[in-house]
Amino acid sequence: MGIECRGEYILNRVLVEEEKQRLQTQDVYICKISAQQTSRILQFIALQGTEWESAEISVQKVPSFPPYTKEQFDEWKQLWPVAYRPLVQLKPVQLDDDERAYINENLSVVSQLQAKSDSEGNRGSAVIVGSPKAREAIVQSTDMTHTLVHPLKHAVMCCISKIADIELDKKKQGCFGDQCTNDNTNDQSEVQLVPAKRAHTPDIAGTPLVTEQISSANDIEDNAMEFTSGYLCGGLDVFSSKEPCVMCCMALVHSRIGRLFFIDPSESGGISYYSINSRKALNHNFTAFQCTLTSTQNLTP
């Protein structure tokens, strides 16, 4: 062939736009300063050779946290790339008289239950699980750790367990009826590989919950079973005299509750310590209210 092979070529990929831009920016090395690190920085520069001889080291104070206000952002962005996300303004809680009465009623009952339980030598909280749709309490429990000599039988765990028993009863009863004629042993596996409808944050104004499927509201008065959503504690309200611990808060996430109302906060509680009710990483969130008793019993979100 006429073409003479003269040797190997070195192939350099042409830089893409982004890489070019990066090259144009001056390299900046940053690190936190401490006595030990300063000597390491000098060592590092010494190792870089001649092109670093004229390198300047300077110590600058920069914010280590993101700005919380617009003013901080304007000031800090001069020093350091920072992102500013204004706090989400939560809508003020609007409660109609009925709902307010339902919440107040349950909060006073848990207070009383707690006082009674305390007088019997227990230390934990008292809890009610209620239905926002029916505006009625479904189950209640006090802390059972002392009675049952079991450190995990907190009131929340006991209530979740009671709701589960109601659901099981409901299923059992249903199976004697007509709908469940082709019930079989696989029935246990009926459950939720398909995610249940996300228990959306209930609209405080009291529109019906998506998760609830009560067809006729007439006969629910005498049957607590009808109040539940059919999927764990989906969309239900939890009233607690104390802020639930981490275990209990996560159990409430697993149970898909809609709202939590608690009276006494706790530094080690799941809401105060970890905001378990609103973590994006978790597959379910719920609204939490810390409730303070006033003469008029106003709720403060």
Partner 1 sequence: MSDIKDISINDSGTIKQIDQQTRERRLEYMQEALKMADEAYEASEVPVGCVFVQNDRIVGQGRNETNITKNGSRHAELVAIDRMLASGSNFHLDDFKTTDLYVTVEPCIMCASALRQVGIRSVFYGCANDRFGGCESVLHVSSDQGLDGLPYYSEGGYCRDEAVLMLRRFYVRENTTAPLPRKKANRVLKTEDLDIRRSNK
- The smaller minimum CB distance to partner 1, of residues 256 and 259, is found at 256
CA distance linking residue 105 with residue 136, whole number of Å: 10
Among 129, 209, 224, 276, binds partner 1 (CB under 8 A): 276
At closest approach, how far in Å is the CB of 226 from partner 1? 16
Q: Tell me the three state secondary structure of residue 122.
A: coil
168 binds partner 1 (CB under 8 A): yes
Cα 49 to chain centroid distance, Å, stands at 52
CA distance linking residue 60 with residue 29, whole number of Å: 12
Among 245, 260, 263, 288, binds partner 1 (CB under 8 A): 245
Window 55 to 74, contacts with partner 1 (CB under 8 A): none
- The smaller minimum CB distance to partner 1, of residues 3 and 193, is found at 193
Measured at the CA of 41, the angle between CA 36 and CA 42, to 5 degrees, comes to 105
For residue 206, give the nearest of 283, 166, 258, 271 by alpha carbon: 258
On whether the CB atoms of residues 219 and 244 are closer than 8 A, the answer is: no
238 binds partner 1 (CB under 8 A): no
274 binds partner 1 (CB under 8 A): yes
CA distance linking residue 235 with residue 251, whole number of Å: 14
> In the block, which residue shows the tokens 């339980």?
117
- The smaller minimum CB distance to partner 1, of residues 214 and 246, is found at 246
51 binds partner 1 (CB under 8 A): no
Among 138, 160, 224, 288, binds partner 1 (CB under 8 A): 160
- The smaller minimum CB distance to partner 1, of residues 86 and 195, is found at 195
Q: Tell me the three state secondary structure of residue 127.
A: strand
Window 97 to 156, contacts with partner 1 (CB under 8 A): 149-152
Among 93, 109, 164, 220, binds partner 1 (CB under 8 A): 164
Mask of contacts with partner 1, 181-210, x by CB under 8 A? -----xxxxxxxxx----------------
250 binds partner 1 (CB under 8 A): yes
Among 268, 278, 292, 298, binds partner 1 (CB under 8 A): 268
283 binds partner 1 (CB under 8 A): yes
Q: Are strands 237-242 and 259-264 parallel, antiparallel or unpaired?
A: parallel
CA distance linking residue 9 with residue 35, whole number of Å: 49
Q: Tell me the three state secondary structure of residue 12.
A: coil
Q: Which listed range, 5-13, 34-42, 167-175, 291-299, lies at the site for partner 1 (CB under 8 A)?
A: 167-175
Cα-only R_g, the chain: 30
179 binds partner 1 (CB under 8 A): no
Cα 96 to chain centroid distance, Å, stands at 26
Cα 69 to chain centroid distance, Å, stands at 24
295: number of CA atoms within 13 Å, CB side? 0
- The smaller minimum CB distance to partner 1, of residues 113 and 233, is found at 233
Measured at the CA of 26, the angle between CA 22 and CA 32, to 5 degrees, comes to 105
232 binds partner 1 (CB under 8 A): yes
Residues that bind partner 1 (CB under 8 A): 149-152, 157, 160-161, 163-164, 167-168, 171, 186-194, 232-233, 245-248, 250-251, 253-256, 267-268, 270, 273-274, 276, 279, 281-283
